[in-house]
Amino acid sequence: MANNSLNLTNALNVGNITESEFWENMVRAKHRIGVKYQDNVGRIWRFCSFGEDVAVGKLVQPAAAVEKSTCAAGTAGWYKHNYYSANQIIYDADGSEMTAGAYAGWWAAVIAGTGVGQVARIRDNDSLNLYLEAALGTALSVSNSAVTLFPGNPYKDLVKTTGTSSIRRGVVSGAVQVDVSYATYPYAWILTHGRGIGITDAYNYGVGLPLTLSDATTGNQETWTAGSADERIVSYVVSYGMATATTNYCLVDYCIE
């Protein structure tokens, strides 16, 4: 009887799985989000969740960072049976209500004003406050402190990449190798290293050409500009692509990790 299991060499924190998992969408997470796996031909995969529908071959990245331009130290008190000091709470003085729990596990970075340079992990949030896992050393000032929120796991709730925003340029988690319907099947493996399908802005890219994130079409790849410091090479063309009515498919070698 043929052994249907993949080689576990260099696998990290994951049990025995079969080849079919790499071409499967899942309603429930079978593994920890972000777990890494190397198959028996050297390709590297990551287990992820999706935040939107993403087609085969599209590049994906974490949800966009969120800017909070006016922040202050919160009022000390209890939240969900945990006591927080004033410096352990970031109050969003902009008055824009947040969805409770939406930023649990994210990171908060003070990017301007009083307390700049501090970084803390967010334990939970309500509509106007971020509750941190540890207190900040310097209290924030409502007059000038600005905070940016970043997703805590680069493989959770992934969306199509875009190269149009400077803050997201070069950020990419991997490439989708199965059809995804987030409403029904939010979990799957993405490819981060090795040969796979990519969607490109054109179909006739030359073999060996380095590709980067497209700045025109979300999730696509385009030619890398030699010497460009803000463009990350994500793959190399293995063979000429195939143009369809709506998509340009290309066999590429990914080098995301």
pLDDT band at 170; cut points 50, 70, 90:
low
DSSP state of 20: G
Whole-number CA gyration radius for the chain:
21
Higher local confidence (pLDDT), 173 or 243 = 173
CB-hemisphere CA count at 13 Å for 149? 23
Mean pLDDT of 80-107: 88
**Under a CB-based contact definition with an 8 Å cutoff, are residues 105 and 118 in contact?**
no
Domain boundaries defined on the chain:
30-60+157-255, 66-150
The residues near 198 (Cβ < 8 Å, ≥ 6 apart) are 57, 59, 175, 211, 221, 235, 249, 250, 251, 252, 254
Q: How far apart are CA 136 and CA 188, in angstroms?
A: 36
> pLDDT (tens digit, 9 = 90+) per residue, 48-78?
999 889 999 999 998 877 888 888 888 999 9
Q: How far apart are CA 70 and CA 248, in angstroms?
A: 44
The residues near 96 (Cβ < 8 Å, ≥ 6 apart) are none
Q: Kindly report the length of the chain.
A: 257
Measure the CA angle with vertex 100, ends 94 and 101; round to 5°: 120
Alpha carbon 94 to its chain's center: 26
Whether the pLDDT of residue 252 is over 50: the answer is: yes
Other beta carbons within 10 Å of 35: 19
Higher local confidence (pLDDT), 140 or 44 = 44
Whether the pLDDT of residue 8 is over 70: the answer is: no
Query: What pLDDT score does 3 carry?
Result: 37
Query: What pLDDT score does 181 carry?
Result: 79
Burial of 228 (C-beta count, 10 Å sphere; 0-12/13-18/19+): exposed
- Residues above pLDDT 70, as percent of the chain: 91
30-60+157-255 domain in CATH 2.40.300?
A: yes
Burial of 132 (C-beta count, 10 Å sphere; 0-12/13-18/19+): buried
pLDDT band at 198; cut points 50, 70, 90:
very high
**Under a CB-based contact definition with an 8 Å cutoff, are residues 166 and 151 in contact?**
no
Q: How far apart are CA 164 and CA 60, in angstroms?
A: 14
Structure tokens at 14: 């994951």
